Structure 1
Amino acid sequence: MEITLEGYYEGTYTNNSAGIALIAIKNSNVVFEDYRGLANCEHGIPITSSTVFNIGSVSKQFTGIGILQLIESKKLCEQDLLVKYIPELKHYADEITIYHLAHHASGLADYNDLLWKKARNNALYSTNAEVLSLLEAQQQLCFKPGSKMEYCNSNYVLLAIIIERIMNMSLADYMKRNIFDAAGMKHTLIFDEKQPLVPNRAYGYEQHESDLKCYYVDTLATGCANVFTSISDMKLYDDILYGSKLLGQDIKKRIYEEGIRSDGKALYDSCGGYSYGWMIQNKCGQRTLWHTGGDAGFRSIYVRFYEKRFSVILFCNCSNLNWTNIYKLVNDLYYKFNHDE
């Protein structure tokens, strides 16, 4: 079966539009790749394996690794209370643990919802400091911590703040020293309120009939989003995840384990379980770790069929991405390169 992007998008992404970067990896080898469209439509710059995309919520797994590194080095415990590190929330969030944050079981309000209440269109330019201020102004949780799973960006902003306070450095510096550099990801960074220069940067777009609207940034919050990276760097990251350079094998097992509710049952929502920045679900009859992302005109998906050592990574700089087509593409790529196993 031949797979081409045209078969899934019918010419939506052309050499004159915003586009897509896609690879499939089998046993650390790139077995499929395709690059279509422009990283910058104003200047006609094409997308390549080196183009740097905003990967949205796929960023959460890097925060999860940072937290697990601190647990492994005994600077932090899963059952530590949030208010041990962020006492500003002690008036209503004194039962929340690190475990609850990492598994989306905290009961905190999502900061995007709070920004909408302030009439902040698209959460524009919100920083971690503003997110914390918004959460500090709340008086009660949405549900009892540990009673259920509800995806919430605030959880990973707070985990980022905890890393910064424990390590006395910015999240950007921590990630560079302890994850990006370790994996050889030379073109990957955290885009925060400093708004650093990003070489080879793609810009995000939204299609309105024949017109493109350009987004420059939606939010400056980190921990939950704003890792900027390339397909080539993510391939290096995918490779290193199988080893022990970022995390020892014992602590890494926690990534593969769904969160557990206070009553001992698994924490699930419609996308499956969740742990330290990864969705956990069966796809194509195989156990997978996966996540999607969407921010500022960008869309992304990263799926790891880890028992088969097969991964699919797709970055897109147009918000009109059709997710139904994406999921079919991921399935077809899996069956094409794993049909005889």
Structure 2
Amino acid sequence: MPATSHPKDSTFVPLAVEFQNMAVSRMIDEIDTLFAGWARADSPGAAVSVIRDGEILLKRGYGMANLDHDVPIAPSSIFHSASVSKQFTAMAVYLLAEEGGLSLDDDVRQYVTEVPDFGMPITLDHLIHHTSGLRDQWELLMLSGWRYSKDLITDEDVLRTIERQRVLNFPPGARFMYCNTGYTLLARVVASISGQSFRRFTSSRIFEPLKMTRTFFRDRHGEVIKGAAYGYHPHEDGFDLAQTNLETVGATSMLTTVEDLARWDENFRSGRVGGRSVFERMHRRGVLSDGSTVPYGGGVGLGTYRGLEIVEHTGGDAGFRSNFMRFPHHGLSVAILSNLSSIEPPALSRRIADICLRSKLEAGRRNDPPTTPRVSDPERLARMAGLYLDPEDGDESLHLHFHDGKLRGGAPVAEQAHELTEMEDGRFRYALYPRTEFVVNEDRTLSAMVDGRFANRFIRSECFSYSPQDLEEFAGIYVSPETVYPYEVVLQKDGLASTALKHPLQPMRPLAKDLFIEGRSRLRFTRDAAGAIRGLLLNTDRLRNVWFERL
């Protein structure tokens, strides 16, 4: 319930206070409206806390934590927070650095010997800022046969996968590419130096001092947790259970409540854990080898919203979605923990900011891309639909779909793609990932921008086709030394498809000569001097040039 309450008796209340109470009441009503669609006894939903100037303006639960047993969500409900965990992992590393237990310039191999020697150091600073060049653990595990969020994944599974990595995505420090692997390794570093489990260290050094009594890193999958919300996916007219299956910590697996996240927010005012020097590190952008900076600090994204500086992190695993966003110079923080995969906490956090910082955001609009949607021409949106590639960056792809009258982007399938909204200035912005925008250039290419910085230049890919006879030469079995898990390319009636023991057939669509797309992967076949296919290079959003040899 809101921290501010209305007078309950006839005691005289100054007019200014009365107006303030009325304004707060209107804000709360507007926030309640945002979540009204999930505030039902037959739907998962979300817990929300809103902190303004150090005081809890609102803490609410909307919807159900457990549909089987009719348990409603409360502010005290415990949620899997996914990647919101990373800022706590970074804090643990910074605490040890402040004490002299480690240096951020240390090579990770000093502490985790399973990391291969790539001929160049990978520092703890690289891991913190996603500039290490390591391949992402979830992507490699799925290529190795794991079904993400369905098969159990342990720390040991991740380490064995890292051990098999042969090359890096790029030299350490050369670029920014989000990488969960780095934060799993950081948790191992903390455990190695402290002599404690990562769970024990973070509980004793962070959560207990801050009285975050319902927060911990879950390192035992089978543990019974009282008050925990269950995750769900939408399914037809109802919902399917969508739980995590993880025994790996650092990149994810912190369980928490919106009440405890309010206590974490208070720490940035009190300095009880960490203090000014640690906070400065956490809020400092990572620096690349060329001197440019990345939009990421210590486990947090650093950007702006409508002209105001924000510090935030989102998260998503199985049926859980999360966002913790702070406006450090304007006294507002928002925590949203959801147990339904179709809920978009980053967008909802911004809607709450629109309500609570209305006058300040309006004043800052000239410094940030406008957020007011434009009424788009459906025919124009339909013409934009198609496949776009960046040949300079591992055939990075952008799928645009015109679906249900809206432009959607990201996933190859329209139903899995995220809605894009056209803004006043003609840019398109993801509702779920509002820091990412697309600019339509005069030559009809698309420039992807993240926090206002150029990321990719996408060129529309025209249709390409092979005859059935031409496709025969691609059929065969392919294995990567990094995954040791065979994939078979087979010729079907309607084209090529790939399959593996624990993966169903995935259609492969030709994009260009020797280039195919399969799900979220781009497959570029390579040939020997005689023109025969010898293997393929696989690229995804977080993998570059993973080699598969043809057997």
| TM-score between the two structures when normalised by the length of structure 2 | 0.58
What's the CA shift for 1:246?
Answer: 1.1
Cα distance in 2 for partners of 1:324, 1:91 equals 38
Cα distance in 2 for partners of 1:328, 1:308 equals 14
**1:129 correspondence with 2:156:** yes
Q: After the TM superposition, which residues 102-251 of structure 1 pair with which residues of structure 2 at under 5 Å, given as runs?
A: 102-122=128-148, 124-193=151-220, 195-251=222-278
Cα distance in 2 for partners of 1:185, 1:10 equals 28
**1:281 correspondence with 2:307:** no
Cα distance in 1 for partners of 2:137, 2:223 equals 24
Q: After the TM superposition, which residues 20-169 of structure 1 pair with which residues of structure 2 at under 5 Å, given as runs?
A: 20-92=46-118, 94-122=120-148, 124-169=151-196
Corresponding residue of 2:289: 262
Cα distance in 2 for partners of 1:94, 1:165 equals 22
What's the CA shift for 1:29?
Answer: 0.7
Identify which of structures 1 and 2 has the higher relative contact order when contacts are C-alpha pairs closer than 8 Å and 6+ apart: 1
Q: How many residues align?
A: 336
- Kept after mapping to 2: 8 A contact 1:9/1:325: no
Cα distance in 1 for partners of 2:282, 2:72 equals 35
Q: Secondary structure at the match of 2:57?
A: strand
Q: Secondary structure at the match of 1:157?
A: helix
- Kept after mapping to 2: 8 A contact 1:81/1:94: no
Cα distance in 2 for partners of 1:231, 1:331 equals 17
What's the CA shift for 1:7?
Answer: 3.9
Indicate how the Cα distance of structure 1 residues 144 and 12 shifts in structure 2: closer, same or farther if over 3 A, else same: same
Indicate how the Cα distance of structure 1 residues 211 and 245 shifts in structure 2: closer, same or farther if over 3 A, else same: same
Indicate how the Cα distance of structure 1 residues 22 and 111 shifts in structure 2: closer, same or farther if over 3 A, else same: same
Richer in strand (by share): 2
- Kept after mapping to 2: 8 A contact 1:83/1:93: no
Moved more, 245-254 or 301-310: 245-254
Indicate how the Cα distance of structure 1 residues 277 and 33 shifts in structure 2: closer, same or farther if over 3 A, else same: same
Deviations 1:288-315 (A, max 9, x none): 1100011121111000101122101111
% identical equivalent positions: 29
Cα distance in 1 for partners of 2:352, 2:124 equals 32
Deviations 1:82-138 (A, max 9, x none): 111112224226410000000000000001111111221115321111111100111
Counterpart amino acid of 1:315?
L
Richer in helix (by share): 1
**1:304 correspondence with 2:326:** yes
Poorly superposed stretches of 4+, deviation over 6 Å: none
What's the CA shift for 1:276?
Answer: 1.4
Instruction: Give 5+ residue unaligned stretches, structure 2.
Output: 1-25, 364-551
Bigger CA radius of gyration: 2
| Cα root mean square deviation, aligned | 2.0
Indicate how the Cα distance of structure 1 residues 135 and 228 shifts in structure 2: closer, same or farther if over 3 A, else same: same
What's the CA shift for 1:210?
Answer: 1.4
Q: Secondary structure at the match of 2:58?
A: strand
Indicate how the Cα distance of structure 1 residues 336 and 31 shifts in structure 2: closer, same or farther if over 3 A, else same: farther
Indicate how the Cα distance of structure 1 residues 90 and 330 shifts in structure 2: closer, same or farther if over 3 A, else same: same
Counterpart amino acid of 2:141?
L
Cα distance in 2 for partners of 1:251, 1:22 equals 27
Cα distance in 2 for partners of 1:236, 1:89 equals 36
Indicate how the Cα distance of structure 1 residues 139 and 339 shifts in structure 2: closer, same or farther if over 3 A, else same: closer
Instruction: Give 5+ residue unaligned stretches, structure 1.
Output: 268-272
